[in-house]
Amino acid sequence: MSIPAMAKAPWLALLVTASLPGIVQAAESCVRIPQNSLVFCSMVDYAAVLDASKDPTGVIADSEAKAHYDSVDQILLRFGCSTTYSMYTCSDCRDAYKYWVCAAKFQKCGGPGQNFTATCPHFDRRNPVNTTFPNCEQTRTRMCVSLCEDVIRKCPYVLQFQCPDTETPFFSRNPATCNKLDRVWHPEAPDLPWPGSFS
């Protein structure tokens, strides 16, 4: 099966085109995104790093996340989702990839070194919808590596998806501080905390 170079590793293209977590670019601000306000990444419910002048509601980032998801979906369709490739299905793969791509596109503001002040309050659900915080300390919460590992567990090898073995500027293995979106419990074992490393 021939797969276009860009579609071969869409996860890599996404990380390469994204700005580095941990440093917010000058044009970006922290914007409060309420749950269910986005069409695709509806699980986002926190202050995310966005270019408030071009994408104040996150709609553009949401459509970009959907475009990455659609690229993966096309690969899965060519792979043949009627074929059983493991204990998981293509639906499981799509769900895992959706969480990963949304965490990548909507990087959570703040982090262990966040300094909360009157002009940079703690981000919570009480903040008004689409509130912008341009004066906040320029930090981001790293994605939980278990979101990435979940994609590897549930997707066929044809995606050529890879995760880091160690902590990186993009990923963290610390479940207390990493961005896990709304995944509080382990998908297959509700009695176990989420996220937990699967490696």
- Per-residue pLDDT of 9-48, as tens digits, reads 444 445 433 434 444 455 678 888 888 999 999 989 888 8
Q: pLDDT tens digit string along 109-166?
A: 876 554 444 445 555 555 555 555 555 545 778 888 888 888 888 888 888 888 877 7
Whole-angstrom distance, CA of residue 38 vs CA of residue 40 = 6
Domain ranges of the chain: 5-172
97: enclosing H helix or E strand: helix 90-105
Span 178-187, mean pLDDT?
Answer: 66
In the numeric block, which tokens belong to residue 199? 């490696």
% of the chain at pLDDT higher than 70: 60
Whole-angstrom distance, CA of residue 30 vs CA of residue 51 = 8
- Mention every residue, 6+ apart, whose C-beta is less than 8 A from residue 122: 116
Q: Can you give the pTM of this predicted structure?
A: 0.74
In the numeric block, which tokens belong to residue 184? 């509080």
Residue 67 has pLDDT above 50, yes or no: yes
Using alpha carbons, select from 12, 44, 15, 16 the residue that is nearest to residue 30: 44
